Every structure is written in structure tokens, then in C-alpha cells.
Amino acid sequence: MVANMKSSRRYPSSTDVARLAGVSQSAVSRAFNKGKSVSEETSRKVFAAAEELGYSPNFLPRMLLKHRSDLVAIVIGDSSNPFYAVAVDAFSKALQETGHQVLLASVDGGNALDGILPRLASYRVDAIVSALPVVTTAAAEAFARLRIPIVSFNTPAHNQWVASVCSDNAGGAALVADLFVERGARSFGFIGGTPSDYASGERLRGFRERLDAHGFDRIEIAMGDYLYEDAFKAAAAMAERREVPDALFCANDLMAFGALDALRRAGLRVPEDVLVAGYDDVPAAAWGSFDLTTVVHGHQAMVAAAIEILHARMAETHADPTDGGTITVPVRLVERATTRR
């Protein structure tokens, strides 16, 4: 019985649709391909037959013919970071509006795209979008050889196939420094992502340079790996050593949440005792329990810039793109309760 059920299962084909609709198989193909010439009456018959049969087009033959899959891979790292959820949602909607399908991939045990190349290449993806960097020159050259364009967020560009869209990391951090000084802070701390992370380094650079301009040359620095738990430990350690600065800038909102909870558990008041600011403006930053001052990425502008780059790169898959480089998107600071004295 089970064997008979398995052997009888078959997906309906375009031939089945053509037979039921009373049209040619080529008419079915034209009806399912935008821009192809087909009459309204024929389209109506084809789609009615397709709905009755439960037919969906098989895109594999089209992929083999065009040498394009219309698949764009979105690669994420730590899925607990709410920034990824916002970015994936924005990119998925933008890509689907332009006729692409999204392949979501996750990198385990690492914060780089380098090791995922074989898996993505096997799916014949047309392009890759990620907030993770391509770390090594060898990996960047491998992507270029495969003609797979990459757009990464807040990471350095490598070659004409590995482009980057960055928020103004240093500029946003400078805005935080200005606000801290304006609110009366005289000692400062920074909780960064990882020592080698490009975005974290740029945010520290902008924060330090602007504080230097204000006459402050010392920053208490800790690393939180962009995680709530690690930032909680870092801030708790500052409190235990009685070395909590007047103002604490965290390289992302998730770490700022951890720092806030650690400081409050240690009996410190925010913002009366300590000013706290983050970076990203994830949805939870506006929640009443955090009400976090933070730098707004302008992720819609970043997505739009990345989509524009991808379309240009995917149109040039059989030739080198015109250039690579980095696009920098302006940011703004939104002040909330964690700095509003």
C-alpha cells in the first residue's frame, strides 16, 4: 500500500496544464514568464488549469538555460542579535520585490564568510549579502573567481566583487561622544565587539578622536563580542572594581542592554550615575525597560544601496564589475532616557 502511494506520487507538469487548458506547452511557458507575449484568454485558461492541478513552474530548466538561479544568499552569524532579524526582513522584502528568492544561511562557530564559500557555490547563488566580513584575501579572490558578487555590511571591501555598505560608524560614535560631554560626563568607557572587528574598531576610533578633541584622552575599554551576556559581565566587572565611568558607549544595542542590566543590578542609576548609549536602534531599544539612547543605522538606506550594488554586479556576472569600494550611509543619534538628565 505504502509502496503504491510512493510510486503514484507525481508533480503535475506543464504538459498536464497544457492538456487541461487546451493550449500548447509553449503557451504555458509564456504565461508563466513575465514579459512574454500571450493573450489574456490563454493566460486565464493556463492559470485556471494550473490552480486545478496544483501546478507550480520548475525553475531548474530556466536556471540551466540562463545560467542564473535568481537566488540571493543572506548569511548571518549570531542569530540572537536582533539587528540580524531587522536586516533579514528588510532584505528579504526588497529582494523578492525584484524577482529574487532568498536563501538564508548561518555561519556557526565563526564571524566570517570565508568558510561558507563551498556551500553557497553549490547552490549556484547569484549573489551574497551579509553583515559578516570576508577576512582573508584568499577567500575574496575565490569569490571573485566564481563571479559571485558580495555586499557586506560594516566591513571593509576587498576587490571589485566584494563591496561594502557601511553606516558612518566613526561619525555616529562622535555624536555619542558629543552628547556625553554635553551631559556633563568626564570619564568614559567603551564596550566593543571583538578586537579585530571592523565596525567596532571604527566606532571606537570615532569615539576616541572626538573625546580627544574635547580634551579627554582616556577610555576604559572592554570587549563584549556583541553579546548581551559578555557585555553584562564586562559592566559588572567595572562595577565590582569601582571603575564605572561617567558614560559608557556600547558598540551595539544588545551589549548596551546587558550593560544596563548589570549596572542597575550593582545599584547604579542610569542616567543619574552613568550615561549609557548603544548603536543600531533595534526595536527593543525603544522599549520602556531600556529606553536606550542609540545611533540609528538608517538600515533602509543601507538596504537600498546594497540592492543597487547587487543589481549592477549581477548584470555583470560574465565580466568584471566596474569597481568595488565602500558606500557610507549617514547616521543620526536618537536620545532617550539613558542619557536624558
CA–CA distance, 310 with 307 (Å, rounded to integer): 5
pLDDT digits (tens, 9 = 90+) for 260-291: 999 999 999 999 999 999 999 999 999 999 99
Q: What is the pLDDT of residue 244?
A: 96
| CA nearest neighbour of 259 among 225, 236, 285, 291 | 236
| CA nearest neighbour of 254 among 223, 298, 284 | 284
Q: What is the pLDDT of residue 10?
A: 66
Is-contact 298 306, C-beta < 8 A? Answer: no
CA–CA distance, 238 with 140 (Å, rounded to integer): 39
Answer yes or no: is pLDDT of 59 > 70: no
Domains 70-167+299-330 and 169-297 fall in the same CATH topology: yes
Query: Residue 10's CB: how many other CB atoms inside 10 A?
Result: 7
Nine cell digits for residue 166 = 557601511
Query: What strands lie across the sheet with 150-153, from one edge to the other?
Result: 101-106, 71-76, 127-130, 150-153, 162-167, 326-329
Answer yes or no: is pLDDT of 85 > 60: yes
C-alpha dist (Å) from residue 273 to 211, 231, 240, 248:
20, 18, 15, 11
| CA nearest neighbour of 200 among 155, 257, 135 | 155
pLDDT digits (tens, 9 = 90+) for 130-145: 877 776 777 778 777 8
Cα 109 to chain center, whole Å?
A: 18
The pTM is what?
0.77
CATH of domain 2-58: 1.10.260.40
Least confident of 52-61, 66-75, 81-90, 242-251: 52-61
Q: What is the pLDDT of residue 228?
A: 95
Answer yes or no: is pLDDT of 18 > 70: yes
Query: What strands lie across the sheet with 219-223, from one edge to the other?
Result: 219-223, 188-192, 247-250, 275-280, 293-296, 332-334
151 residue type, one letter: V
Least confident of 1-5, 123-127, 172-176, 305-309: 1-5
pLDDT digits (tens, 9 = 90+) for 311-331: 787 776 555 555 557 889 999
Which CATH homologous superfamily contains domain 169-297?
A: Response regulator (3.40.50.2300)
* pLDDT tier for residue 60 given thresholds of 50, 70 and 90: low
| CA nearest neighbour of 299 among 153, 190, 108 | 153
Domain ranges of the chain: 2-58, 70-167+299-330, 169-297
Residues ≥6 apart with Cβ < 8 Å to 242: none
Return the CATH class of domain 70-167+299-330: alpha beta
CA–CA distance, 32 with 157 (Å, rounded to integer): 38
Angle between helices 40-53 and 14-21 (to 10 degrees): 120
Q: What is the pLDDT of residue 80?
A: 67
Is-contact 192 222, C-beta < 8 A? Answer: yes
Q: Where are the alpha helices (DSSP H) in the chain?
A: 2-8, 14-21, 25-31, 40-53, 60-66, 82-97, 117-122, 137-145, 169-182, 198-213, 228-240, 253-265, 299-314
41 residue type, one letter: E
Mean pLDDT of 28-48: 81
